[in-house]
Each structure stands twice: as structure tokens, then as C-alpha cells.
Chain A
């Protein structure tokens, strides 16, 4: 083993810092999934009848679906009847009306995670929806947003308060028939975030959701729906953490984005679910379907993701570029170490004229991990003048990890232009020696080299989060040199 490898392996040994458990009374369903469970879930959420029917339809279809096995992932079959489909902190009859009514234990939890929810300590300029296990426990800055006409609330509230919007758009981008995990989510989704930005409104602040899995043996199935009406703009960020547990936990989310004429959505993710221990025990199974429909002319959706957590990541944030001149972007940093497995990438489906897409993917593998980029760029027959640029770079730390790139290109239009670049490199002994010879210690050196590698993606993140993402990589890599 070379020096850099030894160093990096030491650096990886750092413990997961969000691994604590909140001790709080909860209402949890017995494990198992059937129509009664779904009906109960819908009742608890006081959902309108259309929602229950929608769920049951999805469930019945899901029963006939097969779990996909085409990804470059290895894991034991999941027993979907051993998972609990609902867990929520106990609370009074009514929903908390203000943050003062939220359980202090919960507020403390989010404070510890660096997401203060209290009025006086709120993150400046960032509105937060905090989702704890199966429910949204608090949403900040609701009033100033409402003044601008922006709806920012939990999806459960949206189902009750804005049923016409929900009915119009839910499942239009990711139908329940789309794939196994999307089908499961449609049947049992428990909470998530809903955003509607009206015509011509530039959302006055960053919106964000912080997802926390706390309960054991519970799956988290959140559903997020963001609609940007004509000429509007919104920037949204999600963050995720979970306690350290020996069992694997399931997280199967669906995110749907809809951009109308001249609208722009910037969606950023900093995913730091518990990745499992150094022997590969425990960790979150993250099976997520994220898709955007750029249905309007000159609409734009930009996905930026920093993925450092989860035992397994199966995730392909995609754009359907239907509107003429619409733009899709995907910027990704995926870091895997120990026994983590990631199969992630994007799909850019060019249907409209002069649509363009950019894909920049940076995969970093350390330890015994496996890191896969899988991407599809497709041009429909009417995608005259469409073009894509793809750049996939892999950085290997050590000699026991793997990186793979599976790019798929399908073109039904001769005028479409595709550019694809791919590189694989290593953190070399020479780079480490240069840094150390300049007085820079090994941990700092590795983190500097890795951050440099990710620069093109980090610059796409909102400022505050770019700094966070850099730090997160630093923490995730700590212990990999020594």
C-alpha cells in the first residue's frame, strides 16, 4: 500500500457525528404493509378521499412490480413487511400552531444538527421545513413567504389546504407506475415538502427541508412537490441525517419538480444519511426518484447534489426537457468510503427544440467502496438543435475501491450534439508529498485536493451550503490519513 493510501485510510475512520438518537415518545405503526395500514395512514393525516384512492391504486400496482436489480449494487433482499410505515412524535390533539408548541426535545435535536428552528436563532435568509421520521414538525418563515404569495408547507398540509394544486400536479412527473420504489412511495408516503411559487415571483429566500430519521425499523418515505409558475424562481435545499444503528433502514423518496414558462428551479441536496460502520454494518438504503419536468418554454432546472452518506444510494435526479429552449443541469459530488455503494447519475430527456443540458459528475471513492455514475442522455425526434455536455470525473483514494461510469446516449434526432468527457485520477503520493513539503498536514492536504476536485460542483451550491459541503467532505474523509 502506498503512503497516500495508508494516510487516506486512516482519515476515513472518523465517526459519524449525527449518529445520536432522540429519546422521544412516538406513535409507531406495527411493521407490515397492507391496505389497512395505508387507510390508517391516510386517516391519521385527515386526507381527502382522492388521496386515499390514489394511494391504494398505487399500492395495488406496486404489488405486481419487481424490485429492480440492474444497478451496480449488492444487498440482501428487503423484507417490506418488516418495516414500519409510520412513526411520529406524540403530540397534542391539534397540530402545533407555533414553534412554542413543538416538543423542546425536537427543537434540541435540530439545534444539535445545526438547524435552529426557534424564531430568534433561525438561519438568516433560509426558511426550513423540518421532517422528523414520518411527519413535518415545524416550518419556519411561513408568514413572510405567504406575503410574497409563496406556499411553503408540509405536503400533508398541502393535501388538505391546496387539494386542487396537489391533484393537478402530484404524480405527473413521477407516476406511481414509474418504478418499484416510486410505486411504494406513492402508496405510503408520509410527509415531505410542498412549494408553489406563483407567476412572476422570485422567492425572497432560500427554502430548505431537513430530513431526520430517528425511529428504529422505520422507513422514511417522503414526497416533495415543487411547482414554479411562469417566470418565477426558487432555490431549494434539502439536508438529511440519521442515527447510527446496526440495522439497515429504508428511505424511498420521490421528488417532483414542475417548471412552467421561463421559470427556474434550483434544487440542491446535501445528503448525509448514516453510511454504516467501517465494516459495512447498518446504514440507510437510499432509493430515491427525483425528476423535473421543464414543461414551459425557456424553463430551467438545476440539480446539485453532494452525496456523502447512506450505505446504498440509488438516485438519478433527471430532467424532462419538453419546453422549447428549456435547460437541465446536473452537478454531482458523490463520495463513498468503507463499504458504501453508490449508483447515481442523471437522465436528460430532450424532447423540445433547442433544449440544452449540462452534466458534471464528480465521484470520489475511498476504502472498499463502489461508486458508479450512470447517466442517460436522450434526444427525441423533435429535439432539433438540442445539445448536451457531460463530464464525469472519478477520484480514487487508495487501491481497494472502485469507480465505474455507465453513460447511455440515445439520439433520434440527427441535429443533436453530445459532448462527453471522462477522467479517472488518484490522490497521488506526489501530490501528498508536495503539500506536506509545504508544511500542510495530511488531513488538510487530502481535503484540499478533494475539494479542488469538486470545485466545479461546489460553485453551483448556494454560498452558505458550499461552505457546509466542503466541511462535510472534510469530516467524511477524516481518518483516511494518519
Chain B
């Protein structure tokens, strides 16, 4: 489904991604791990089309179409979804209005009729329960005054509403307490499907206890330095990144943290 070849990208002239190669098939769940500053979030942003990042070489195709030549909104309509690490607030625009505009933009693209308000409300209420958000939140401004956990659940809710082909989850576990982590993980697991690929970016192993990946990749200094199965993540948890020759000031602290959280 997704094929990334020798991808280089930079921000403000500084190269962050230095040749990423990755193949993801439909139905698979991939986890990208790595220390802070390794380029994990950059990869997520570049795939979604954030033009603050410049792709300097390499290619990305999704279902054999060139992804990089498409605008952000075209990629989204083709099924690329990014769950943001730090979802931004849009004051005064209700979640309901925002999601309905989004859902209908996708439907319009597929040549389907718009969803009417009643149908939409029904769907939105169901899914908000699934991620344990009070339906009253639908009337609040997008992410306005949301707690960290609510913001993350809201991102997963949007993924469930939009049913993307490729869901990219950027540090979806960060800042969550154990109960919220469970809710978010259940939401992501509900997204798993034969025709959908999931790419998770995470610093911590603990997320992978809840969402078990098919493949784990370690990113360091803009390159994938090691790939493996589920067991690679567990090994990282025990031995830290240093074992792979990667410097990471936070590793010791973070694995201690994730252990205590568990």
C-alpha cells in the first residue's frame, strides 16, 4: 500500500530525514520507535504533506500513486490520516461542525451524497462513546480547553469517523494516564482492518503492549537502523537505544517511566 524509497526531507535547511526506506502492506501495523530528535514526527508530517518540511529527494507512493505531488487535502481525501501529537485548537468552531465538514469533504471526493445532520449526529454520538468522550463535547470548540487525554481521544475519534486507508499515529500515547491509554488503544485496535495500514510513531514501548504491531522499526538520525518484529520493541525496553549504538539521553529515564507506568 505505502512504499517509501530513499526519502530525504529537511526543515529550514536542516536535513532531518536522511534516506528512509519502508514498505507497508494493507492490514499491517508498523511501529516506528526512536529517541527524541530522530525524525519520527517529521516522517509523519512529511507523509501527511505539511509544507513546513521540504522533501529534497526520494519517493513515496500509495497504491502506486505518487503521494508527494499531491496537496495535503488531496492526500487526506485519498485516505491518509494523521493523528496529531499536539492537536491545535480552533476556537468557536464546534467539533461537530469541523467533523461534519471533514466527513462531507471526503464523501464529496468519493462522489457520495453529503451526510445529513441527523445521520451525522447518530454516527458521532456512537463513536464518541467508543472513545469515552461525553457527547456534549461535540458542541465545544475543536480541542478548545480539552485536556491532553481528551485531545488524543478526539484524534482517534476522527480516525474512526473517517475510516482512512492509512492511519498515522504520532505519539498518540504521550501524556496519557493508564486508563486513557487503554481507551485510545482500544480505539486504534478497532481501526485494524485488512484493507487498512497503521503506522504508529512512539517513543515508549508501553503503547505496544496494547496495540501489538506486526513490525517494529528503529529510527535514528533520520534513518531506519533496525527492523524486526514485536520482540524488537521488548528488547529496546530492556536494553535501551544504546545497545544499537544510539545516543539517547532520555532512554534510561523513559524506560524507567514506562515500567513504572505499567
Select from chain B the residue with minimum beta-carbon distance to A427. Answer: B90
B148 sits at the interface (CB 8 A): no
| A residues 417-462 touching B (CB-CB < 8 Å) | 425, 428-431, 433-442, 444, 448-449, 451-456
CA distance A383 to B162 in the complex (A): 56
Partner of A429 from the list B52, B71, B105 (CB cut-off 8 Å) is: B52
In the complex, what residues of B have CB within 8 A of residue A444's CB? 101, 105
In the complex, what residues of B have CB within 8 A of residue A452's CB? 90-93, 141
- Asked whether, in the complex, the Cβ of A438 is within 8 Å of the Cβ of B105, the reply is yes
- Asked whether, in the complex, the Cβ of B52 is within 8 Å of the Cβ of A448, the reply is no
In the complex, what residues of A have CB within 8 A of residue B97's CB? 448
In the complex, what residues of A have CB within 8 A of residue B102's CB? 438-440
On chain A, the number of residues with a Cβ less than 8 Å from chain B's Cβ atoms is: 25
Interface-located stretch among B76-84, B124-132, B229-237: B76-84
How many cross-chain pairs have Cβ atoms below 8 Å apart between A and B? 77
User: With A3-B52, A434-B84, A437-B82 in contact, is A455–B92 under 8 Å at CB?
Assistant: yes
- Asked whether, in the complex, the Cβ of B91 is within 8 Å of the Cβ of A453, the reply is yes
Proximity bits, B52-68, A CB within 8 Å = 1, else 0: 10000000000000000
In the complex, what residues of A have CB within 8 A of residue B98's CB? 435, 438, 448
CA distance A105 to B73 in the complex (A): 45
CB distance from A40 to the nearest CB of B (A): 51
In the complex, what residues of A have CB within 8 A of residue B91's CB? 425, 452-453
In the complex, what residues of B have CB within 8 A of residue A3's CB? 51-52
CA distance A353 to B189 in the complex (A): 63
- Asked whether, in the complex, the Cβ of B48 is within 8 Å of the Cβ of A431, the reply is no
CB distance from A1 to the nearest CB of B (A): 12
In the complex, what residues of B have CB within 8 A of residue A438's CB? 76, 98-99, 101-102, 105, 158, 162
- Asked whether, in the complex, the Cβ of A437 is within 8 Å of the Cβ of B106, the reply is no
Residue of A428, A430, A449, A455 ringed by the most chain B CB atoms within 10 A? A430
CA distance A3 to B54 in the complex (A): 13
CB distance from A167 to the nearest CB of B (A): 46
CA distance A451 to B87 in the complex (A): 20
CA distance A52 to B34 in the complex (A): 85
| A residues 233-263 touching B (CB-CB < 8 Å) | none
- Asked whether, in the complex, the Cβ of A436 is within 8 Å of the Cβ of B73, the reply is yes
CB distance from A392 to the nearest CB of B (A): 15
- Asked whether, in the complex, the Cβ of B76 is within 8 Å of the Cβ of A436, the reply is yes
- Asked whether, in the complex, the Cβ of A439 is within 8 Å of the Cβ of B76, the reply is yes
B72 sits at the interface (CB 8 A): yes
Select from chain A the residue with minimum beta-carbon distance to B109. Answer: A439
In the complex, what residues of A have CB within 8 A of residue B72's CB? 433, 436-437
CA distance A448 to B51 in the complex (A): 21
| A residues 271-299 touching B (CB-CB < 8 Å) | none
B88 sits at the interface (CB 8 A): yes
The secondary structure that dominates the A interface is helix
CB distance from A452 to the nearest CB of B (A): 3
CA distance A440 to B162 in the complex (A): 13
CA distance A3 to B73 in the complex (A): 14
CA distance A455 to B94 in the complex (A): 10
In the complex, what residues of A have CB within 8 A of residue B49's CB? 436-437
- Asked whether, in the complex, the Cβ of A439 is within 8 Å of the Cβ of B73, the reply is yes
Partner of B87 from the list A425, A434, A439, A455 (CB cut-off 8 Å) is: A434
- Asked whether, in the complex, the Cβ of A434 is within 8 Å of the Cβ of B88, the reply is yes
Select from chain A the residue with minimum beta-carbon distance to B168. Answer: A437
Select from chain B the residue with minimum beta-carbon distance to A2. Answer: B52
In the complex, what residues of B have CB within 8 A of residue A451's CB? 92-93
CB distance from B219 to the nearest CB of A (A): 21
CA distance A435 to B141 in the complex (A): 14
B50 sits at the interface (CB 8 A): yes
CA distance A442 to B109 in the complex (A): 15
Select from chain B the residue with minimum beta-carbon distance to A456. Answer: B92
Select from chain B the residue with minimum beta-carbon distance to A362. Answer: B92
CB distance from B7 to the nearest CB of A (A): 19
User: With A434-B90, A453-B91, A454-B92 in contact, is A448–B82 under 8 Å at CB?
Assistant: no
CB distance from A184 to the nearest CB of B (A): 39
In the complex, what residues of B have CB within 8 A of residue A455's CB? 92
CA distance A436 to B106 in the complex (A): 11
CB distance from B138 to the nearest CB of A (A): 15
| B residues 101-118 touching A (CB-CB < 8 Å) | 101-102, 105-106, 109
CA distance A444 to B76 in the complex (A): 15
Residue of B88, B97, B99 ringed by the most chain A CB atoms within 10 A? B88
- Asked whether, in the complex, the Cβ of A437 is within 8 Å of the Cβ of B76, the reply is yes
CB distance from B82 to the nearest CB of A (A): 5
In the complex, what residues of A have CB within 8 A of residue B87's CB? 434
- Asked whether, in the complex, the Cβ of A431 is within 8 Å of the Cβ of B90, the reply is yes
- Asked whether, in the complex, the Cβ of A433 is within 8 Å of the Cβ of B50, the reply is yes
CB distance from A412 to the nearest CB of B (A): 36
Select from chain B the residue with minimum beta-carbon distance to A432. Answer: B72
| A residues 201-233 touching B (CB-CB < 8 Å) | none
CA distance A452 to B97 in the complex (A): 10
CB distance from B173 to the nearest CB of A (A): 20
CB distance from B104 to the nearest CB of A (A): 9
| B residues 218-248 touching A (CB-CB < 8 Å) | none
Residue of B93, B158, B162 ringed by the most chain A CB atoms within 10 A? B93
CB distance from B137 to the nearest CB of A (A): 16
User: With A437-B48, A448-B97 in contact, is A453–B92 under 8 Å at CB?
Assistant: yes
In the complex, what residues of B have CB within 8 A of residue A430's CB? 88
CA distance A395 to B223 in the complex (A): 40
CB distance from B237 to the nearest CB of A (A): 31
Proximity bits, A3-35, B CB within 8 Å = 1, else 0: 100000000000000000000000000000000
- Asked whether, in the complex, the Cβ of B92 is within 8 Å of the Cβ of A441, the reply is no
CA distance A201 to B90 in the complex (A): 42
CB distance from B107 to the nearest CB of A (A): 9
CB distance from A435 to the nearest CB of B (A): 8
Select from chain B the residue with minimum beta-carbon distance to A453. Answer: B92
CB distance from B31 to the nearest CB of A (A): 21
In the complex, what residues of A have CB within 8 A of residue B92's CB? 451-456
In the complex, what residues of B have CB within 8 A of residue A433's CB? 48, 50, 52, 72
Kindly list 8 other residue pairs between chains A and B, CB separation below 8 angstroms, not including A444-B105, A448-B90, A454-B92: A430-B88, A431-B90, A433-B50, A434-B84, A435-B98, A436-B72, A437-B81, A440-B105
4 tightest Cβ-Cβ pairs between the two chains A and B: A452-B92, A452-B93, A438-B102, A439-B105
